[in-house]
């Protein structure tokens, strides 16, 4: 079937969710008794008055005592002066009350109260591993799109120059800044510092960072129901994939930009494994002994290594898994992606189209999500 | 066809069967569109509006021209230099939105004025100072018109901005208020009316008011018809009250969605309000 | 026609995409088969104030709404002037002639249909928008059949306004989305039933339920079964975006896929009920072909072809390692010629080769036009009996027109 046409999801079941959410008259009724002569109101209660209490918050019964941990803009959180306000809050004029400025959940770090929005653009934090795309080349720096509210900066002084880490930056480097990164190039980098206005400065001074190649890009920010990449233990990992397709690297940028690529053995591995890396390719197999040099050699390459068909297929499958997670509003982290991938391989084996079918759109994505949330 | 005000005086019901202080059916959704930073759909009676928010985002060297040039809307804020995000509003009124098909060009004066009003209204609430060098693009689409268009636009834009996670002081909620008899009638005893539909808007004096959340702070007040000053106070009071109701409706929409997202595990649970005082 | 917005992709990405799409069978980034469309959500009749309306959302979040409104308009009588899309044979009713107004004498005019396309962020006189609008209306009016449906009597006709609105930012090239939405809106369009007779001023039945569809349902009883091969009636045209990479033909390309296309075509097809032989000599269209592909129950008819300039031509070429100044050996602080050092260290590929020859793994934007054979194969694939178009039309027909 070349095309799938789905009926629209039934209009939001505003009233029909009574089964799951027993009525909670106390939640808003106090606000309802506004002035205006009574007769004011919605006809037919099209938008139900009852807020579903968080019946699912079984982990901590204390939560369910209060109706919800959700706050919306303008909602006062506390007027206790012992708390400090963080992101997503403000102090209303003429009061001491910390008030929420976004719709989201409250987080508390010691005495700092902040509200994490249900969905928002990426906010950089120092140490974040991000995947970004160069959008502008300036005299001494690049401007990088990291899916934030501002472009991040990558100064020329914050990259490893070819030929060793400790080399001094020269005017020649400035003149040929485009040979390192040009517009459109994807980089993996780390947030080094933040400006006062929220702008981020990146650096790629590590062998793990640099230009990306041999793979595909997915942006999961701004897509789906608010899921996406979450900060977790590991943002980068190498995994074995099915079909004897070798190994695949996955980079989950904290900013929601994801890079999935064929794993190319690093020189260290090469030396250990005795140059067995199939397809380590022209770039790496030249017999330079200095590891730094060979790494910095591939750091600015935009030439892909030869990639086997099977590997490409598994990369596409992984990409499908990430998209399916996002479309079904699930977290994207190592755990979910790896689990989802194995589930997808199983599904493909069981399906009529055979293991070569890597499509994970609509129904299959939902099936995948259902299997994952059931785990 | 003049509005038959005599009917109103007899039954105290308006042409569509509402009482003087009744809102029309409001139906709203947020996150209608996966790709956008924020999106919403809002119906006030038969007035139907969609809104898509992009940003806040820094216009790159390439994207900048297209976004600013084509939006055809009012911009508030001073862009990059002032250290504030610029709010760019573009309104597209569909040709099929009114009873008789009419083409609304981009340069249409009325559309531009609406855009600039929406932009100003949001600037009163959004914390644009948090996003220097950035732009917030608000694209509004009018699918069907039956009065109170400006109010619907403001409400839809507010919802979409909440969806986009843009910090704001409070919801900007808007609605219209009118008066039961025409200016010419000079009727001292005219009652105020809440939430005018198209027919009432044509016949009767009316105004659009938007307030900042539950406060009485008026963010927008637009009156484009002649009305005796003596009636204005009553109209305004009814309108402000309507805005408060509207805020509750918008808030409920956001909460429903948020609670659902928490339940589905999309968003991590936070600390309950009640827990703050513990330990 | 530079009709597609610039896509910013790195040379490495482009090379990877091109390589995976050139495989046999191609591996698309989202795992679709070459003929598979992106899943979409469709509904019709969303706007009660219109004669017909539809809304389609792709899974990637692009969304379009189309509304159709009809008004009765007096037909301008133009003595002796032939309309462009006039079916041969009828006397052009320049004067109030006396010939019987049988069905055969119905005729249409391109000006009876007015189409507007709104793309957020673009001006309405933007060339891209104008191009889209031209392409969509040209498909609709190409055979003159459509405008003839708007004929009421010799003095009056329906004027049909099609307003096409892209709600989302244009993430991918919006043509297929807009075309499919327009198709659905037209399928759901109803015009009031005519109660008057002859050439008198028309008046209509108030009962909306009795209003006939502009495109009559083929099989009212089994309207919702998508597999009915008995559907032989004419359908509004659809315009499909088809692209070629190497020898692969790929339907409904996403933005990334389009960015590595060797050639891209917008092909408009319709399905007709009856065989009509028209020697169409329309000068407006760039390319046109009349082909008939007989299939059980459905004639596919090619209406128009337009080449889309793929954004791949504007992409920056990749730099082969051999020619990369930042590649390989240490770039001395003294500013030595980097190439000498590279030859020392890599010495794999001749340095200058990358400028002209293809190096595997390095992106090279396509140059020159598309091959004739490829274009021919593209068109052939679209018109294939029982192929993609058939299934798309069936699926669209299956959308509940409630």
Q: For residue B21, which of A44, A50, A43, A45 has the smallest C-alpha distance?
A: A43
Whether the CB-CB separation of B179 and B237 falls below 8 Å is answered with no
Residue C402 domain-assigned (yes or no): no
How far apart are the CA of B33 and the nearest CA of chain C, in angstroms? 6
Coil, strand, or helix at residue A63?
Answer: helix
**Model confidence at C329: pLDDT above 80:** no
Among chain C residues, CA nearest to B32: C61
Give dist(CA C105, CA C89) in Å, integer: 8
- Tell me what pLDDT residue A217 has: 93
Give dist(CA B207, CA A221) in Å, integer: 40
Q: For residue B177, which of B152, B216, B208 has the smallest C-alpha distance?
A: B208
Find residues 166-205 of chain B whose CB sits inside 8 Å of chain C.
none
Q: Inspect the interface and report whether the beta carbons of C67 and B96 lie closer than 8 Å.
A: yes
Of A1, A301, A317, the CB nearest to C391: A1
Residue C353 domain-assigned (yes or no): no
Element holding C343 (H helix, E strand)? helix C338-345
Interface contact C65, partner B, CB < 8 A:
yes
Q: Is the peptide bond before B153 cis (omega within 30 degrees of 0)?
A: no
Q: Return the residue matching tokens 């109701």.
A: B245
Q: Tell me which chain C residues have a C-beta less than 8 angstroms from the C-beta of A168.
A: 333
Element holding C356 (H helix, E strand)? helix C353-356
Give dist(CA A234, CA A336) in Å, integer: 12
- Tell me what pLDDT residue A375 has: 57
* ipTM value: 0.85
Q: Which domain holds residue C311?
A: 11-318+363-397
For residue B77, how many C-alpha atoms fall within 13 Å in the half-sphere facing its CB?
A: 30
Interface contact B261, partner C, CB < 8 A:
no
As for how many domains chain C has, the answer is 1
Query: Quick one: B144 exposed, middle or buried, by C-beta within 10 A (0-12, 13-18, 19+)?
Result: buried
Q: Inspect the interface and report whether the beta carbons of B96 and C49 lie closer than 8 Å.
A: yes
Q: Inspect the interface and report whether the beta carbons of B103 and C167 lie closer than 8 Å.
A: no
Burial code of A202-224, b = ≥16 C-beta within 10 A, e = fewer?
A: bbbeebebbbbbbbbbbbbbbbb
Q: For residue A312, which of C261, C15, C27, C257 has the smallest C-alpha distance?
A: C27
Query: What are C71-101's pLDDT values in tens digits?
Result: 998 887 665 544 444 444 444 444 443 444 4
Give dist(CA B39, CA B32) in Å, integer: 6
Interface contact C217, partner B, CB < 8 A:
no
Q: Tell me which chain B residues have a C-beta less than 8 angstroms from the C-beta of C115.
A: none
Q: Is the peptide bond before C25 cis (omega within 30 degrees of 0)?
A: yes
How does residue C224 score in pLDDT terms, banded at 50, 70 and 90? very low
DSSP strand E in A27-103: where?
70-71, 76-78, 84-85, 89-91, 98-100
Q: Tell me which chain A residues have a C-beta less than 8 angstroms from the C-beta of B85.
A: 149
**Model confidence at A4: pLDDT above 70:** yes
- CATH code: domain of residue C294: 3.30.230.70
Q: Inspect the interface and report whether the beta carbons of A316 and C29 lie closer than 8 Å.
A: yes
Tell me chain A's radius of gyration from C-alpha atoms: 25
- Tell me what pLDDT residue C159 has: 92
Question: Where does residue A304 fall: left (phi above 0), alpha (psi -120 to 50 degrees), or beta otherwise?
Answer: beta
Arithmetic mean of pLDDT, A212-219:
91
Q: What is the DSSP string of chain B?
A: ----HHHHHHHS--TTS--TTPPPPEEEEE---TTSSEEEEEEETTEEEEEEEEEEE---TTHHHHHHHHH-S-EES-TTTTTS-EEEEEEEE-TTSSSS-----TT-HHHHHHHHHHHHHHHTTB-GGGSTT-EEEEEEEEEE--S-HHHHHHHHHHHHHHHTT--BSS-EEEEEEEESS-TTTT-TTPPEEES--HHHHHHS-EEEEEEETTSS-EEEEEE-S---HHHHHHHHHHHHHHHHHHHHHHHHHHHHHHHHHHHHTSS-----GGGGG--
Token pair in block for residue B235: 């109209």
Query: What are C103-134's pLDDT values in tens digits?
Result: 456 677 888 999 999 888 776 677 888 888 88
Those residues with Cβ within 8 angstroms of residue A315's Cβ, 6 or more apart along the chain or in another chain: A215, A216, A248, A260, A261, A262
Q: Inspect the interface and report whether the beta carbons of B50 and C167 lie closer than 8 Å.
A: yes
Token pair in block for residue A281: 């390719």
Residue C170 domain-assigned (yes or no): yes
Least confidently predicted of A249-253, B153-157, C367-371? C367-371
Query: What are A9-25's pLDDT values in tens digits?
Result: 654 443 333 333 333 33
Q: What percent of chain B has pLDDT over 90?
A: 53
**H helix count then E strand count, chain C:** 9, 10
Give dist(CA B210, CA B154) in Å, integer: 8
Token pair in block for residue A369: 């999500």
Q: Inspect the interface and report whether the beta carbons of B144 and C49 lie closer than 8 Å.
A: yes
Residue C257 domain-assigned (yes or no): yes
Give dist(CA C155, CA C97) in Å, integer: 12
- Tell me what pLDDT residue B250 has: 96
Q: In degrees rounded to 5, what are phi and psi of residue C94?
A: -65, -50
Residue C312 domain-assigned (yes or no): yes
Query: What are C20-58's pLDDT values in tens digits?
Result: 999 988 999 988 889 888 888 899 988 988 999 999 998
Of B22, B249, B263, the CB nearest to A47: B249
Among chain B residues, CA nearest to A53: B259
Arithmetic mean of pLDDT, B40-49:
95
Token pair in block for residue A189: 């980098």
Interface contact B140, partner C, CB < 8 A:
no
CA separation (Å) from C127 to B92, C122, C124, C229, C251? 18, 9, 8, 40, 24
Residue C66 domain-assigned (yes or no): yes
- Tell me what pLDDT residue C388 has: 84
Among chain A residues, CA nearest to C36: A2
How does residue C218 score in pLDDT terms, banded at 50, 70 and 90? low
Chains touching chain C, criterion 3+ CB pairs below 8 Å? A, B
Interface contact B105, partner C, CB < 8 A:
yes
Residue C347 domain-assigned (yes or no): no
Residue C62 domain-assigned (yes or no): yes
Query: What are B106-158's pLDDT values in tens digits?
Result: 778 999 999 999 999 999 999 999 998 899 999 999 999 999 999 999 999 99
Question: Where does residue C356 fall: left (phi above 0), alpha (psi -120 to 50 degrees), or beta otherwise?
Answer: alpha
How does residue A290 score in pLDDT terms, banded at 50, 70 and 90? low
């Amino acid at each position: 079937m070349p095309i799938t046409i789905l009926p629209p999801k039934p209009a939001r079941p505003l009233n029909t969710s009574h089964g799951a959410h027993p009525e909670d008259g106390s939640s808003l009724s106090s606000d309802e008794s506004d002035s205006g002569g009574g007769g004011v109101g919605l006809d037919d209660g099209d938008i139900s008055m009852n807020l579903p209490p968080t019946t699912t918050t079984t982990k901590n019964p204390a939560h369910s005592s209060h109706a919800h941990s959700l706050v919306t803009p303008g909602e006062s959180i506390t007027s206790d002066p012992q708390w400090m306000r963080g992101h997503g809050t403000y102090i209303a004029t003429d009061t001491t009350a910390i008030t929420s400025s976004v719709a989201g959940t409250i987080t508390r770090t010691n005495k700092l109260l902040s509200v994490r929005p249900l969905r928002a653009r990426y906010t950089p934090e120092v140490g974040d591993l991000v995947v970004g795309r160069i959008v502008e080349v300036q005299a001494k720096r690049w401007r990088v799109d990291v899916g934030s509210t501002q472009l991040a900066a990558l100064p020329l002084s914050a990259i490893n120059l070819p030929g060793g880490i400790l080399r001094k930056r020269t005017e020649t480097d400035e003149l040929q800044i485009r040979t390192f990164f040009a517009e459109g190039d994807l980089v993996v980098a780390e947030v080094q510092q933040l400006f006062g206005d929220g702008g981020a400065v990146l650096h790629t001074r590590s062998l793990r960072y640099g230009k990306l190649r041999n793979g595909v890009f997915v942006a999961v920010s701004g897509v789906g129901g608010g899921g996406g990449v979450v900060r977790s233990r590991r943002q980068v990992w190498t995994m074995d994939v099915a079909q004897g397709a070798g190994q695949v690297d996955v980079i989950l940028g904290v900013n929601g930009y994801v890079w999935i690529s064929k794993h190319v053995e690093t020189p260290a591995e090469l030396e250990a494994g005795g140059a067995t890396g199939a397809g380590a390719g022209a770039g790496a197999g030249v017999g330079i002994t200095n590891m730094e040099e060979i790494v910095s050699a591939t750091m600015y390459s935009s030439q892909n290594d030869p990639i086997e068909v099977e590997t490409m297929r598994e990369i596409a499958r992984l990409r499908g898994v990430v998209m399916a997670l996002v479309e079904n509003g699930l977290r994207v982290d190592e755990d979910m992606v790896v689990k989802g991938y194995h589930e997808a391989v199983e599904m493909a084996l069981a399906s009529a189209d055979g293991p070569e079918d890597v499509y994970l759109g609509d129904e299959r994505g939902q099936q995948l999500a259902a299997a994952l949330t059931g785990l | 066809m003049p509005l038959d005000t005599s009917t109103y005086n007899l039954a105290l019901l308006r042409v569509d069967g509402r009482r003087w202080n009744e809102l029309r059916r409001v139906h709203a959704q947020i996150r209608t569109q996966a790709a956008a930073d924020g999106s919403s759909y809002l119906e006030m009676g038969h007035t139907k509006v969609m809104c898509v928010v992009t940003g806040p985002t820094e216009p790159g060297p390439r994207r900048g021209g297209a976004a600013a040039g084509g939006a055809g809307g009012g911009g508030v804020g001073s862009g990059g230099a002032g250290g504030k995000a610029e709010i760019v509003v573009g309104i597209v009124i569909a040709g099929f939105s009114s009873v008789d098909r009419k083409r609304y060009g981009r340069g249409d004066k009325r559309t531009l004025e609406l855009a600039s009003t929406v932009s100003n209204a949001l600037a009163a609430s959004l914390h644009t100072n948090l996003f220097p060098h950035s732009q917030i693009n608000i694209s509004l689409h009018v699918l069907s018109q039956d009065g109170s268009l400006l109010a619907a636009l403001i409400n839809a834009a507010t919802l979409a901005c909440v969806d986009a996670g843009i910090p704001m002081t409070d919801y900007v909620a808007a609605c219209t208020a009118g008066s039961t008899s025409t200016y010419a009638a000079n009727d001292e005893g005219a009652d105020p009316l809440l939430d005018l539909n198209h027919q009432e808007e044509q016949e009767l004096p009316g105004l659009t008011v938007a307030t900042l959340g539950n406060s009485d702070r008026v963010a927008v007040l637009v009156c484009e018809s002649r009305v005796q000053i003596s009636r204005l106070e009553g109209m305004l009071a009814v309108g402000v009250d309507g805005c408060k109701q509207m805020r509750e409706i918008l808030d409920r929409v956001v909460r429903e969605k948020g609670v659902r997202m928490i339940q589905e595990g999309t968003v991590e649970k936070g600390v309950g309000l009640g827990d703050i005082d513990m330990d | 026609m530079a009709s597609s917005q610039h896509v910013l992709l790195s040379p490495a990405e482009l090379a990877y995409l091109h390589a995976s799409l050139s495989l046999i069978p191609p591996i698309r980034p989202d795992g679709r088969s070459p003929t598979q469309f992106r899943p979409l959500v469709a509904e019709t009749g969303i706007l009660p104030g219109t004669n017909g309306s539809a809304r389609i959302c792709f899974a990637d979040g692009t969304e379009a709404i189309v509304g159709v409104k009809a008004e009765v308009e007096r037909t301008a009588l133009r003595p002796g002037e032939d309309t462009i899309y006039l079916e041969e044979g009828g006397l052009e009713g320049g004067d109030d002639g006396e010939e019987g107004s049988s069905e055969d004498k119905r005729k249409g005019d391109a000006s009876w249909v007015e189409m507007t396309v709104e793309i957020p962020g673009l001006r309405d006189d933007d060339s891209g928008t104008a191009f889209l609008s031209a392409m969509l209306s040209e498909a609709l009016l190409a055979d003159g059949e459509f405008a003839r449906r708007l004929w009421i009597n010799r003095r009056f006709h329906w004027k049909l306004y099609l307003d096409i609105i892209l709600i989302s930012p244009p993430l991918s090239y919006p043509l297929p989305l807009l075309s499919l939405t327009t198709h659905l809106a037209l399928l759901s369009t109803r015009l009031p039933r005519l109660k008057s007779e002859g050439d008198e001023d028309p008046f209509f039945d108030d009962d909306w339920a009795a209003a006939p569809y502009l495109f009559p349902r083929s099989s009212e009883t089994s309207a919702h079964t998508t597999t009915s091969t008995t559907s032989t009636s004419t359908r509004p045209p659809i315009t499909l975006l088809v692209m070629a990479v190497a020898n692969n033909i790929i339907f409904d390309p996403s933005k990334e896929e389009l960015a590595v296309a060797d050639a891209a075509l917008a092909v408009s097809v319709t399905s007709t009920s009856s065989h009509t032989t028209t020697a169409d000599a329309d000068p407006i269209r760039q390319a046109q072909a009349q082909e008939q592909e007989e299939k059980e129950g459905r004639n596919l008819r090619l209406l128009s072809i337009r080449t889309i300039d793929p954004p791949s031509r504007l992409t920056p070429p990749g730099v082969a390692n051999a020619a990369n100044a930042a590649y390989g050996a240490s770039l001395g602080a003294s500013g030595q010629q980097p190439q000498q050092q590279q030859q020392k260290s890599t010495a794999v590929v001749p340095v200058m080769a990358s400028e002209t020859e293809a190096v595997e793994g390095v992106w090279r934007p396509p140059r020159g036009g598309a091959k004739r054979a490829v274009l021919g194969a593209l068109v052939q694939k679209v018109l294939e009996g029982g192929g993609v178009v058939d299934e798309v039309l069936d699926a669209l027909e299956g959308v509940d027109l409630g």
